């Protein structure tokens, strides 16, 4: 986190991290999924809010999955922040091209 975020999304594993988020970025609102427990299942309203939060988060996570899976960017060797950032920018651009190609192929077969 760089400190100027307005929203922070996370799955239920980050439930206890609201204080750390507040310290790092005071103006950010935490949109973290609620967790179900053994004797306290989620209500239907909680499930619906978790679903909305997850739909936002999944857009970014699909792109990271593409970069890691297709392009093999699972481990990063530290070569300097500028070089690693440049490599990530290129991989995200390639990921966008790949996803748009898949979308075009789906539309042409329909």
pLDDT of res. 41:
92
pLDDT of res. 4:
79
Series of mean pLDDT values for 10-residue runs along the chain (110 residues): 79 80 83 89 93 87 84 80 88 88 80
pLDDT of res. 45:
95
User: Which residues, other chains included, contact 5 with Cβ-Cβ below 8 Å and sequence gap of 6+?
Assistant: 25, 27, 28
CA dist 94 and 13 (Å) reads: 30
pLDDT of res. 31:
85
| Residue of 21, 50, 19 whose CA lies nearest to 7 | 21
pLDDT of res. 108:
81
């Amino acid at each position: 986190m760089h400190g100027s975020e307005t929203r922070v999304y996370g799955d239920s594993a980050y439930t206890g991290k609201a204080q750390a988020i507040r310290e790092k970025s005071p103006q950010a609102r935490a949109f973290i999924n609620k967790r179900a427990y053994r004797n306290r299942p989620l209500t239907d309203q909680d499930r619906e809010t978790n679903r909305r939060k997850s739909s936002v988060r999944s857009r970014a996570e699909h792109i990271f999955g593409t970069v890691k899976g297709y392009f093999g960017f699972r481990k990063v060797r530290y070569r300097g922040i500028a070089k690693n950032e440049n490599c990530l920018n290129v991989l995200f651009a390639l990921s966008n091209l790949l996803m748009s190609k898949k979308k075009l192929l789906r539309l042409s077969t329909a």
